[in-house]
Structure 1
Amino acid sequence: MKTFQTLAELAACTGQEVAVSDWITITQQQVNLFAEATGDHQWIHVDVEKAAAGPFGGPIAHGFLTLSLLPRFFESSFEITGSQMGVNYGLNKVRFTAPVPVGSRLRGRMKLLAAEAIAGDGMQMTWEVTVEREGSAKPVCVAESLVRRYP
């Protein structure tokens, strides 16, 4: 895990890949819990038997489940000791470029696109996050994420 002492130290990395997260495994239990939380019980996600005969050969994770893992990817890849709080500010772009079969291992690759000072001694950062699936050349999700960090 990389460690940055200050927001300014991280901002100096603008234009660079800053970190790559740990791998995480997507389980059927996670998919089922996400379906419960969102009300999206589509069979391609939760009906293991029907999904096995479907277009993906088994159940797949919801695209928004994959997207919801961004904070976890950030947390496992770097820390800013001079920042006590971060908030999601939004997304500029999101693409789900490939399915995520249950059992897949995913990781996030974070590139800092921009960093701007904001009120309260904070910083708004624009990140390009590429979510990779182990063993696949094609990413499963590419998102431009806005994160605000504060001391």
Structure 2
Amino acid sequence: MKFRILLWLSMALPCLLLAQMVPKTKQQLTDSTMLRNNGSDSRRIDTVLVEGARPLEQQLLDRVRIRPGSNPVLLNGNTFAVLNAIPSIEVDELGNLSLQGKTGVLITINGKQTYLTGTSLVGYLKSIPASSLESIDLMTIPPAKWSAEGAGG
């Protein structure tokens, strides 16, 4: 199972860490196109497999998406270590999360709020292997769904 982590930050609103389990899928396409024989020695290729890697960081309209799976170094360890490796996120051993120096974190998993704080939060983040993370989204403006939550500031 893959987790999708989402962090939100607003000047007057709390950060949000959202983890969603997303099944890992691999897409394989088959092309049966044949080129004309122009008289030279030609061979038929039965299958062509094209693989690519997603970029580590992707700028979207409302967020920055970080994919730990694109960096093999980030896959060694746990979610706590991955979050500490992201420059704008800081997680101390007491479980205080901050994004760009702002505290007040709201954590949701599969769209449901969790109320973990302190060492409970650190323990939980350390229990999730980094290889199970699909993406971490950093947002500067949270949607209305979570805008009234938390103590933010």
Which interval holds the TM-score relative to the shorter structure? under 0.3
Greater share of residues in strand: 1
Select the structure that is richer in helix: 1
Please tell me whether Structure 1 or Structure 2 has the larger radius of gyration of its CA atoms. 2
TM-score (norm 2): 0.27
Determine which structure has greater relative contact order: mean sequence separation of CA pairs < 8 Å that are 6+ residues apart, divided by chain length: 2
TM-score between both structures, scaled by the size of structure 1? 0.27
